[in-house]
């Protein structure tokens, strides 16, 4: 087989930068988690919780997750299409423009230039940078697919292409705003409309950025890691088309009990429940691909990351729909239960799958063996324990605070003042802050392992053949 | 192999179509329901220049990361915050600021709850007004001046009505003045506080008359809810001196329960009758103790 000259430099560079932004996201996350328990750690005007929290989420979603997806998409698209990237020049431009955008985002958010819309805080000039970035990326991936040398598009390519157009539609619609000055704009939508558009965006950004891309990665890297194909192609087809159809109906489950029209809320609730099926379609497909291969959970650290990752995806897609039911939402919405849920998805599902992909890629790109498998196992356990402490402590905190918020006495009056409910949260918030430190230690093991692989790892002829 | 598995353009068109169905129904269609004439509430007015400047400071500082602005139609929520939010109250909100997490309390109806002086002190040092609060201090807001010209431009972009004198009045105002003005506007356009007043039928009777054993409980309630304004020793600070208040138990109870909306005294009905009576007994009888 003649090996086309794949562009691995761009994959390598995106991996490097995404890990860097991921480390920033975790460090800022730890800082703000300590600010929750020690308000004196706020240093106004720049370093307050209110300004730092969007930096944490933006660095995590746009720096770490999307940066890694740039890397894995560019890798997968070349392998799955059996040809180099359509334009190396565009890809290189994208790398530097990506970093410029992330830096511009961090600086402007710190200065308080924000639209306030969750996961879409960036003001209009940086919105434009994001759009340019995405158009360049989309064209490059799409043209590579169009000019492919493999007739059939593998399931990973479906999820990749769907996420590319999905993000474009979401971002453009939610970004509609009227500029007042260079760093200030007002939304094109008002009040309840603005809220509904925003959560149509916010929820489906979870689909297009934190579900489809990691599924693409999972569908590619699981068979690559185990050496056996995905269990059912037909199940992949059903799961794919049903998830991209159903996801878009569910945004208003973030707005249950608000002034958004009741019928929109009810539709969102119903479709959220239905969404369990296509989500679990992928989970089951992953599990059944392990038939006869479960021993690899012991022997192959990559499989451990991937299978735990898809397991958290499965749990996430059961917990999410349950939160989308009006009665349960009435109880847990606005409490710490929700950050507990979110971090199971980001720290558990998305990051575990990305760790696996990066562990797979780096030794192959550098033609090395991984520096230390035990260290990779340590990384696995640290991030797993850190994430579990985070999520479980926040679920308990959320249930307790919700109970106190809703508790009324025999005469019908409220049992607790707001502050009485907040004070009870401090022990959980301490636990959360330390869980972040544990996760950070795992990240340090990860980075050290990769660094030593590149610097000192043994060269391996076999990895090249397997690549 | 199904046809779309080898035709990327066809595949992309099908994927967009699949995405657009739910998008159209749940995101586009609701525009026909929301912010229509039926939604409109006559008494809800656009922001004044000072309030709008304050709203933009609220956005700049990311207050929405910890405070929501929607009261849900749930019993405990209406008791704690006031009447549930209606769509018509938000027609001038670009963007909406409903938020998603209540690390701090909901602010949809905070307008008129406290006097301005309470907010200023709370911004400068949150823990002096609310012990053990984890809110960051925003003392620096008092050091930044509002830019009248820029605020005028914002009013024009949003198409809100304003008078020249309102713009003139902005000179000399700080970010602190603006954010307090904004907070005082929140949720107050529908004039609910007067309607929410409890009217007592019959004679109010102090259930703890001559029962000095509950004074310590009353003191604890006073420290948590009253001391920030009336002083630890009841001699007053933001609120008046009440150390030798001369008023019947029933009148004092009614003031604590309903507050004095125009006088800056918050209502404490959310504490329930029992705790309000305990506080009354502390305030009136602590000296005998």
- Spatial separation of the C-alpha atoms in residues A157 and A82, rounded to whole Å: 13
A13: left (phi over 0), alpha (psi -120 to 50) or beta: alpha
Among A112, A113, A414, whose Cβ lies nearest the Cβ of B272?
Answer: A414
Superfamily in which the B212-285 domain is placed by CATH: Cytochrome c-like domain (1.10.760.10)
pLDDT of residue A467 exceeding 70, the answer is no
Q: What is the mean pLDDT of residues A257-264?
A: 97
**B276, B282 in Cβ contact below 8 A?**
no
Chain A residues inside the 8 Å CB shell of B90: 190-192, 195, 259
Q: Between the CA of residue B19 and those of A37, A122, A245, A247, B54, what are the distances in Å? A: 42, 24, 6, 8, 38
Q: Which residue of A has its CA nearest to B269?
A: A413
Residue A165 to residue B15, Cβ atoms within 8 A: yes
| Binary contact (A190, B87; C-beta < 8 A) | no
Contact A153 B73 (CB under 8 A): no
Q: Give the pLDDT confidence score for residue A316 in this predicted structure.
A: 97
Q: Do A248 and B23 touch (CB under 8 A)?
A: yes
Contact A36 B157 (CB under 8 A): no
**pLDDT for the residue numbered B35:** 93
Instruction: State whether B157 and A178 contact (CB < 8 Å).
Output: yes
Instruction: Give the A:B interface size as CB pairs under 8 Å.
Output: 269
Confidence bin at B261 (pLDDT 50/70/90):
confident
pLDDT reported for residue A3: 62
Average pLDDT score over residue span A20-29: 98
Q: A residues 128-167 near B, CB within 8 Å?
A: 142, 145-146, 151-153, 158, 161-162, 165-166
Interface of B with A in 199-258 (CB under 8 A): 224-225
pLDDT over threshold 80, residue A1: no
Under DSSP, is residue A184 helix (H, G, I), strand (E, B) or coil? Answer: strand
A334 interfaces chain B, CB cutoff of 8 Å: yes
**Beta-carbon separation of A50 and B72 below 8 A:** no
Mean pLDDT of chain B: 94
Per DSSP, what are the bridge partners of residue B145? B174
Contact at CB, B153 and A181, closer than 8 angstroms = yes
Find the mean pLDDT for residues A178-187: 96
Q: Closest chain B residue to A34 measured between Cα atoms?
A: B134
B130 touches chain A (CB under 8 A): yes
| Residue B142 in contact with partner chain A when CB distance is under 8 A | no
> Does position B103 have pLDDT exceeding 50, yes or no?
yes
Q: Does B134 touch chain A (CB under 8 A)?
A: yes
Q: Give every CB contact of residue B108 below 8 A, 6+ residues apart in sequence.
A: B68, B69, B70, B71, B81, B82, B85, B186, B187
Find the mean pLDDT for residues B47-69: 98
**At a CB cut-off of 8 Å and minimum separation 6, what does B227 contact?**
none
- Return the H-helix or E-strand segment holding A53: helix A49-58
The single residue listed with the structure tokens 């969404």 is A275
Any B CB within 8 A of A180 CB: yes
What is the reported pLDDT for A242? 97
B8 pLDDT higher than 80: yes
Residue A338, CA distances (Å) to A145, B62, B115 in order: 38, 19, 33
Asked if A461 is an interface residue toward chain B (Cβ–Cβ < 8 A), one would say no
Interface of A with B in 80-139 (CB under 8 A): 112-118
The whole-angstrom separation of Cα A75 and Cα A213 is: 13
B65: nearest CA in chain A? Answer: A50
Locus of tokens 């959360």: A432
CB contact under 8 A, B93 and A245: no
CB contact (8 A) between residue B133 and residue A419: yes
Structure tokens given for A77: 């698209």
Q: What is the pLDDT of residue A464?
A: 47
Closest-CA residue of chain B to A155: B5
Residue A2 scores a pLDDT above 60: no
Instruction: Decide if pLDDT at A325 tops 60.
Output: yes
Name the architecture of domain A1-188: Up-down Bundle (1.20)
**How near does any CA of chain B get to the CA of A179, in Å?**
8
Burial of A223: CB neighbours in 10 Å, binned 0-12, 13-18, 19+: middle
Is the peptide bond preceding residue B95 cis, with omega within 30 degrees of 0?
yes
What percent of chain A clears pLDDT 90, i.e. is strictly above it? Answer: 95
Q: How far is residue A425's CA from residue A85's CA, in Å, rounded to a whole number? A: 50
Q: Could you give the CA distance from residue A33 to residue A307 in angstroms, rounded to a whole number?
A: 29
Q: Which residue, A115, A129, A83, is CA-closest to B58?
A: A115
What is the per-residue pLDDT for A149? 95
Are the C-beta atoms of B70 and B108 separated by less than 8 Å?
yes
The answer for B231, left when phi > 0, alpha when psi is -120 to 50, beta otherwise, is left
CATH, domain B49-195, list 1.10.3470.10, 3.30.530.20, 3.40.50.300, 1.10.760.10: 1.10.760.10
Cis peptide leading into residue A175 (ω within 30°): no
Say how many C-beta atoms besides its own lie within 10 A of residue B217's C-beta.
16
Q: Do A259 and B70 touch (CB under 8 A)?
A: yes
Q: What are phi and psi of A181, to 5 degrees?
A: -150, -170
Closest CA–CA distance from residue B18 to any residue of chain A (Å)? 5
Distance from CA of B55 to the nearest CA of A (A): 11
Residue of A nearest to B19 (CA): A245
Which tokens go with A414?
């409220």
Give the pLDDT confidence score for residue B288 in this predicted structure: 66
**DSSP character at residue B112:** T
Q: What is the DSSP string of A271-322?
A: HHHHTHHHHHHHHHHHHHTTTTTTTHHHH-HHHHHHHHHHHHHHHHHHHHHH
CB pair distance less than 8 Å for A248 and B26: yes
Indicate yes or no: CB of A258 within 8 angstroms of CB of B139: no
The pLDDT score that the predictor gives to residue A122 is 97
Q: Which A positions 379-438 lie with beta carbon below 8 A of chain B?
A: 405-409, 411-414, 417-419, 422-423
User: Which phi and psi angles does A330 have, rounded to 5°?
Assistant: -55, -35
- In chain A, which residues have their Cβ closer than 8 Å to the Cβ of B10? none
Whether A294 and chain B come into contact, CB under 8 Å, resolves to no
Residue pLDDT, tens place only, B168-186: 999 999 999 999 999 999 9
Angle between helices A66-81 and A124-146 (to 10 degrees): 10
For residues A256 and A264, give the distance between their C-alpha atoms in angstroms, rounded to a whole number.
9
Nearest to B144 by CA among B171, B119, B175, B181: B175
Give A197→chain B minimum CA distance, Å: 6
Inter-chain contact A417–B137, Cβ cutoff 8 Å?
Answer: no
Each residue's pLDDT tens digit, B109-158: 999 999 999 999 999 999 999 999 999 999 999 999 999 999 999 999 99
> Quick one: average pLDDT of B225-233?
93
Q: How much is the pLDDT for B285?
A: 87
What are the residue boundaries of the structural domains of chain B, listed by start? 3-32, 49-195, 212-285
Reported as a single tens digit per residue, the pLDDT across A195-247 is: 999 999 999 999 999 999 999 999 999 999 999 999 999 999 999 999 999 99
Residue B289 pLDDT grade (very low, low, confident, very high; cuts 50, 70, 90): low
Asked if the Cβ–Cβ distance from A423 to B75 is below 8 Å, we say no
Mapping DSSP to helix (H, G, I), strand (E, B) and coil, where does residue B19 land?
helix
Is the whole-model pTM more than 0.90?
A: yes
Tell me if B150 and A181 make a contact (CB, 8 A cut-off).
yes
B61 shares contact with chain A (CB less than 8 Å): yes
Instruction: Closest CB to A190: pick one of B93, B270, B273.
Output: B93
Interface touch A162/B19, C-beta < 8 Å? yes
Question: A26-34 contacts: CB < 8 A, separation 24 or more?
Answer: A26/A60, A26/A436, A26/A439, A26/A440, A26/A443, A27/A440, A28/A52, A28/A55, A28/A56, A28/A59, A29/A56, A29/A60, A29/A436, A30/A433, A30/A436, A30/A437, A30/A440, A32/A56, A33/A429, A33/A432, A33/A433, A33/A436, A34/A433
Residues B95, A115: C-beta atoms closer than 8 Å: yes
Give the number of other Cβ atoms within 10 Å of residue B84's Cβ: 17
Contact A196 B272 (CB under 8 A): no
- Residue B237 has phi, psi (to 5 degrees) of -155, -95
- Quick check: A46 contacting B, CB < 8 Å? no
Residue pointed to by tokens 């997750």: A65
Q: Which among A191, A252, A330 has CB closest to B26?
A: A252
ipTM score here? 0.95
**Which parts of A324-425 fold into alpha helices (H)?**
326-332, 337-343, 351-366, 373-406, 418-423
Count of beta carbons in the 10 Å neighbourhood of residue A326: 14
How far is residue A215's CA from residue A316's CA, in Å, rounded to a whole number? 14
């Amino acid at each position: 087989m003649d090996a086309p000259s794949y562009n691995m430099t761009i994959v390598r560079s995106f991996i490097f930068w995404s890990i860097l932004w991921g480390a920033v996201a975790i460090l800022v996350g730890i800082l703000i988690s300590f600010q929750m328990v020690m308000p004196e750690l706020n240093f106004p005007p720049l370093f307050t919780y209110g300004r730092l929290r969007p930096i944490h989420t933006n660095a995590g979603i746009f720096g770490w997750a999307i940066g890694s997806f740039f890397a894995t998409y560019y890798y997968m698209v070349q392998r799955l299409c059996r040809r180099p990237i359509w334009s190396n020049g565009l890809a290189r431009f994208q790398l530097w423009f990506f970093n410029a955008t992330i830096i511009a985002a961090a600086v402007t958010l710190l200065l308080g230039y924000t639209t306030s819309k969750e996961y879409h805080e960036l003001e209009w000039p940086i919105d434009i940078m994001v759009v340019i970035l995405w158009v360049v990326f989309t064209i490059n991936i799409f043209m590579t697919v169009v000019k492919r040398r493999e007739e059939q598009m593998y399931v990973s390519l479906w999820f990749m292409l769907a996420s590319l157009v999905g993000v474009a539609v979401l971002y453009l619609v939610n970004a509609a705003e009227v500029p007042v000055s260079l760093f200030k704009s007002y939304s094109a939508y008002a009040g309840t409309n603005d809220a509904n558009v925003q959560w149509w965006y916010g929820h489906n950004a979870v689909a297009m950025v934190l579900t489809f891309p990691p599924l693409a990665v999972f569908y590619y890297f699981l068979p690559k890691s185990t050496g056996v194909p995905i269990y059912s192609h037909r199940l992949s087809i059903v799961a794919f088309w049903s998830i991209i159809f159903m996801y878009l109906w569910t945004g208003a489950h973030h707005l249950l009990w608000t002034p958004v029209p009741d019928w929109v809320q009810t539709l969102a609730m119903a479709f959220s429940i239905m969404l369990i099926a296509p989500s679990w379609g992928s989970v089951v497909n992953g599990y059944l691909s392990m038939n006869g291969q479960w021993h690899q959970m012991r022997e192959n650290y990559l499989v451990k990351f991937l299978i735990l990752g898809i397991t958290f995806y499965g749990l996430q897609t059961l917990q999410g729909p349950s939160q989308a039911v009006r009665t349960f939402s009435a109880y847990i919405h606005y409490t710490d239960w929700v950050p507990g849920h979110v971090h199971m998805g980001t720290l558990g599902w998305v990051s575990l799958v990305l760790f696996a992909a990066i562990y797979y890629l780096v030794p192959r790109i550098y033609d090395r063996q991984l520096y230390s498998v035990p260290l990779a196992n340590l990384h696995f356990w640290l991030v797993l324990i850190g994430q579990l402490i985070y999520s479980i402590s926040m679920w308990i905190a959320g249930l307790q605070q919700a109970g106190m918020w809703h508790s009324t006495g025999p005469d019908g009056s409220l049992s607790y003042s707001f502050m009485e409910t907040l004070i009870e949260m401090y022990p959980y918030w301490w636990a959360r802050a330390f869980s972040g430190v544990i996760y950070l230690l795992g990240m340090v093991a990860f980075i050290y392992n990769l660094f030593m692989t590149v610097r000192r790892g043994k060269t391996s002829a076999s990895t090249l053949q397997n690549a | 192999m199904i046809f779309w598995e080898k035709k990327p353009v066809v595949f992309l068109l099908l994927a967009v179509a699949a995405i657009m169905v739910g998008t159209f129904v749940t995101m586009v269609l609701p525009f026909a329901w929301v912010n229509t004439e039926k939604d409109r509430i006559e008494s809800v007015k656009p922001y004044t220049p000072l309030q709008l400047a304050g709203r933009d400071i609220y956005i700049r500082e990311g207050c929405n990361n910890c405070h929501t602005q929607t009261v849900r139609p749930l019993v405990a929520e209406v008791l704690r915050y006031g009447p549930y939010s209606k769509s018509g109250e938000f027609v001038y909100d670009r963007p909406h600021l409903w938020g998603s997490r209540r690390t701090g309390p909901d602010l949809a109806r905070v307008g008129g709850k406290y006097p301005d002086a309470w907010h200023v002190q709370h911004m400068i040092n949150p823990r002096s007004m609310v012990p053990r609060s984890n809110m960051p201090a925003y003392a620096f807001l008092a050091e930044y001046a509002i830019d009248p010209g820029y605020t005028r431009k914002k009013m024009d972009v949003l198409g809100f009505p304003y008078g020249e004198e309102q713009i003139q009045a902005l000179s000399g105002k700080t970010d602190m003045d603006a954010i307090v003005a904004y907070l005082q506007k929140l949720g107050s356009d529908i004039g609910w506080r007067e309607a929410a007043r409890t009217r007592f039928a019959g004679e109010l009777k102090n259930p703890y008359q001559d029962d000095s054993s509950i004074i310590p409980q009353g003191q604890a309630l006073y420290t948590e809810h009253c001391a920030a304004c009336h002083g630890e020793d009841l001699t007053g600070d933001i609120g008046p001196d009440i150390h030798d208040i001369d008023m019947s138990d029933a009148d004092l109870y009614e003031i604590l329960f309903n507050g004095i909306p125009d006088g800056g005294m918050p209502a404490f009905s959310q504490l329930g009758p029992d705790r309000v009576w305990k506080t009354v007994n502390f305030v009136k009888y602590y000296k005998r103790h």
